[in-house]
Structure 1
Amino acid sequence: MPLTFTLDPAVDPALRDGVLDLWADVSNAGGSVGFVPPVTREEIRPALVKHLVAMAEGRTRLLVGHDEAGRVAATAFLALNTHRLMGHWLWLYTVMVHPRLQGRGYGRDLMAAAAAAARSLDGIEAIRLTCRGGLGLERFYASCGYKEVGRVPDAIRVAPGDDRDDVIMLLPLS
């Protein structure tokens, strides 16, 4: 069953809690979304609040994928670039698919929906994202059309003695 994607859904307690649950589940399964396991919803909540504030200010858009039961199953935040010379591209953050659904093509569906959402925004010509090296994420994003355009060695400290590259990827939309 495919996911149903919505750009800019109404933010209510159910959506907020669904995103928190998804973020915790993805993080605790080893996903590269800003935390390392174990992590709780309450530890994640401040990061979500920052996204929600940016949404309220019009700087960020939320793309949500719901499963057939209506549960939040995937997300991506599209952050508009506020620099006057860089408004033609946006950042993609917190790209997540629930672990129970991984390996079924939903990640590729999410990335296609994010590209479609970006194309629907006036003046957006490209998407940039970063990912944590060492997990094979670069290969996944490359399979979705992204190209590696930069790498900062050892920029992400997952744990003492476990530093990972910060890999910068770009998807031109034209």
Structure 2
Amino acid sequence: MNGGPLDLRQVTAPGDVTPELRQALIGCWIEVTNAGGAAGFPFPPIDASQAAPAVDSLIEGLAPETSRLMVASINGDLAGWLNVRRDPSEVVSHWATLHHVQTRTSLRGRGIGAALMNHVRDIARDEMGLEQLHLAARGGVGLEDFYGRLGWKEIGRWPGALRLAPGGDRDEILMILTPL
């Protein structure tokens, strides 16, 4: 993938996901997971037999009020993506959680993840009417530093909550972005 302008867009309905985008999401998820990324599958390597059902479930759940997909592309090729989901219950509908923040491994360090995070912040505030965003990050891989540079604050840890291999426990770091 060559350089070019970064295109950021959101997808809010299952019918808006083309077969090409679906395949690109599956491919990115496999790539990121197999490179050791904290993207939802604990035991790499994975292949399409694991990633495709997860992508399909995420796509099926898209809805403007509760679940949106943020996509970053360069020259029409997927560069990264994330999912933002909120619970419609009135008690917690003022915040949402980010899931599966991913950037193609060959494009890391080019600001794509930061651009996605800033884009979702604007969408969450301006279109979804949210006041807070939450996320859980895997400890020990520098994610808290990345998110911290973008204004996120650590609000708690679950020590050893994630078992990635025998003897490979990691903390789960709870983070918040507020106000948006």
Same fold (TM over 0.5): yes
- The one-letter amino acid of 2:60's match is V
Number of the residue aligned with 1:121: 127
Q: Tell me, in whole angstroms, the C-alpha distance in 2 between the residues paired with 1:3 and 1:170.
A: 26
Query: In structure 2, what is the equivalent of residue 59 of structure 1?
Result: 66
2:107 aligned residue:
101
Residue 173 of structure 1: SS of its match in structure 2? coil
The correspondence for 2:22, drawn from 7, 16, 25, is 16
Q: Contact 1:115–1:173 at 8 Å: present in 2 too? A: no
Task: Quote how far apart the aligned CAs of 1:113 are.
Answer: 1.0
Deviation at 1:48, TM superposition (A): 1.3
In structure 1, distance between residues paired with 2:132 and 2:65: 19
| Displacement after TM superposition at 1:71 (Å) | 1.1
Q: Does residue 117 of structure 2 align to residue 111 of structure 1?
A: yes
One of 53, 76, 94 as aligned partner of 1:46? 53
Aligned residues: 173
Amino acid at match of 2:34: N
Does 2:44 align with 1:37? yes
Q: Which moved more, 1:55-64 or 1:30-39?
A: 55-64
Once residues 95 and 39 of structure 2 are traced to their aligned partners in structure 1, the CA distance between those partners, rounded to angstroms, is: 21
Residue number in structure 1 paired with 2:7: 4
Cα offset for 1:58? 5.3
1:121 shift after superposition: 2.5
The 2-side partners of 1:37 and 1:145 are apart by 30
Aligned residue type for 2:99? Y
Equivalence for 2:162: 156
CA–CA distance in structure 2, aligned partners of residues 26 and 57 of structure 1 = 27
How far is 1:40 from its partner? 0.5
* TM-score normalised to structure 1 length: 0.93
Other-structure match for 1:142: 148
Measured after TM superposition, the shift of residue 56 of structure 1 is: 5.1
Please say if residues 2 and 106 of structure 1, whose CA atoms lie closer than 8 Å, have aligned partners that are also in contact: no
For the residue of structure 1 that corresponds to 2:96, the secondary structure is strand
Question: Structure 1 stretch 16-25 or stretch 59-68: which is displaced more?
Answer: 59-68
The answer to whether structure 1 residue 74 and structure 2 residue 74 are counterparts is no
What is the alpha-carbon distance in structure 2 between the residues aligned to residue 173 and residue 41 of structure 1? Answer: 38
Letter of the 1:66 partner, please give it: S
CA drift at 1:167: 0.6
Give the C-alpha shift of residue 80 in structure 1: 1.4
- Helix, strand or coil: the match of 2:162? strand
Contact 2:82 2:99 in 1 (8 A): yes
Mark the runs of 5 or more structure 1 residues left unpaired by the alignment: none
Q: Which moved more, 1:13-22 or 1:42-51?
A: 42-51
TM-score (norm 2): 0.90
- 2-side partners of 1:169 and 1:156: how far apart? 16
Task: State, as a whole percentage, how many aligned pairs show the same letter.
Answer: 37
